[in-house]
Amino acid sequence: MLLLVTSRGLAQQPKVVVVSEVQELEFAGSQNSVGIINASKTARVGAAVDGRVSELLVEEGDAVTAGQPLVNLQTAILQFQLQGAKAELSLRQAELDELEAGTTKEELDASIANLKAAEAARKFSAWNFTRVEKLFQEGQVVSETEFQQAQANQKRDEQLYQAALSTHQLNVRGPRKELLTQAMARLNSQLAVIRSLEEQLKRHTIVSPFNGFVTIKHSEQGQWVTRGEVVVQIVKLDEVDIVVNVTAEHVSKLGLGDQVRIDVPNVRDELVFGKVFAIVPQADVQSRTFPVKIRVKNEIGKAGPVFKAGMLARVQLPVGQAKKMLMAPKDAVVLNGNKRTVFVVDSETNVVNEVAVELGVSNGDMIEVSGSIKAGQQVVIRGNERLRSGQAVNIASVASDPAEDN
Say if 181 falls within a structural domain: yes
Q: What is the pLDDT of residue 82?
A: 94
Q: What is the pLDDT of residue 7?
A: 45
Q: What distance in Å separates the CA atoms of residue 250 and residue 315, rounded to the nearest whole number?
A: 14
Highest mean pLDDT among 66-80, 139-153, 155-169 belongs to: 66-80
Say if 22 falls within a structural domain: yes
| DSSP line for 194-212 | HHHHHHHHHHTEEE-SSSE
Say if 224 falls within a structural domain: yes
Question: What residues contact 178, with CB distance under 8 A and at least 6 apart?
Answer: none
Q: Please, what is the average pLDDT of the chain? A: 86
Angle at Cα 150 formed by Cα 149 and Cα 155, nearest 5°? 95
Q: What is the pLDDT of residue 245?
A: 92
Q: What is the pLDDT of residue 4?
A: 47
> What CATH number has the domain bearing residue 167?
1.20.120
In a shared domain, residues 364 and 404: yes
Indicate whether 397 pLDDT > 60. Answer: yes
One-letter amino acid of 178 = E
Domain stops at, among 143, 176, 199: 199
In a shared domain, residues 108 and 184: yes
- 389 close to 354: Cβ distance less than 8 angstroms: yes
In a shared domain, residues 163 and 192: yes
Over residues 23-31, mean pLDDT: 77
Q: What is the pLDDT of residue 97?
A: 87
In a shared domain, residues 123 and 50: no
In a shared domain, residues 173 and 213: no
Q: What is the pLDDT of residue 316?
A: 85
Dmax (CA) for the chain in angstroms is 156
Least confident window among 127-136, 263-272, 350-359: 263-272
Say if 94 falls within a structural domain: yes
In a shared domain, residues 177 and 118: yes
In a shared domain, residues 195 and 209: no
Domain stops at, among 189, 216, 234: 234
Question: What residues contact 285, with CB distance under 8 A and at least 6 apart?
Answer: none
Closest Cα partner for 313 from 242, 397, 240, 388? 242
Indicate whether 145 pLDDT > 90. Answer: no
| DSSP line for 10-30 | -EEPPEEEEEEE-EEEEEE--
In a shared domain, residues 334 and 365: yes
Cα 277 → chain centroid: 22
Closest Cα partner for 229 from 239, 220, 218? 218
Domain stops at, among 199, 215, 245: 199
Closest Cα partner for 250 from 296, 294, 290? 290
The pLDDT tens digits for 221-273 are 999 999 999 999 999 999 999 999 998 888 888 889 988 888 887 776 677 88
In a shared domain, residues 85 and 149: yes
Q: What is the pLDDT of residue 3?
A: 46
- 302 close to 245: Cβ distance less than 8 angstroms: no
How many structural domains is the chain composed of?
3
Q: What is the pLDDT of residue 12?
A: 63
Q: What distance in Å separates the CA atoms of residue 234 and residue 330, rounded to the nearest whole number?
A: 35
> What CATH number has the domain bearing residue 14?
2.40.420.20
Q: What is the pLDDT of residue 206?
A: 95
In a shared domain, residues 62 and 85: no
The pLDDT tens digits for 52-66 are 999 999 999 999 999
Closest Cα partner for 86 from 237, 1, 187? 187
Sorting pLDDT into bands at 50, 70 and 90, what band is 400?
A: low
In a shared domain, residues 55 and 143: no
Indicate whether 406 pLDDT > 70. Answer: no
Say if 40 falls within a structural domain: no
CA torsion, ordered 92, 95, 97, 103, to nearest 10 deg: -170
In a shared domain, residues 105 and 66: no
Q: What distance in Å separates the CA atoms of residue 308 and residue 295, rounded to the nearest whole number?
A: 13
Domain interval for residue 223: 45-72+205-234
The pLDDT tens digits for 154-180 are 899 889 988 888 888 877 777 778 888
Question: What residues contact 396, with CB distance under 8 A and at least 6 apart?
Answer: 16, 17, 18, 382
Say if 311 falls within a structural domain: no
> What CATH number has the domain bearing residue 224?
2.40.50.100
Say if 37 falls within a structural domain: no
Over residues 384-396, mean pLDDT: 86
Cα 244 → chain centroid: 30
Say if 90 falls within a structural domain: yes
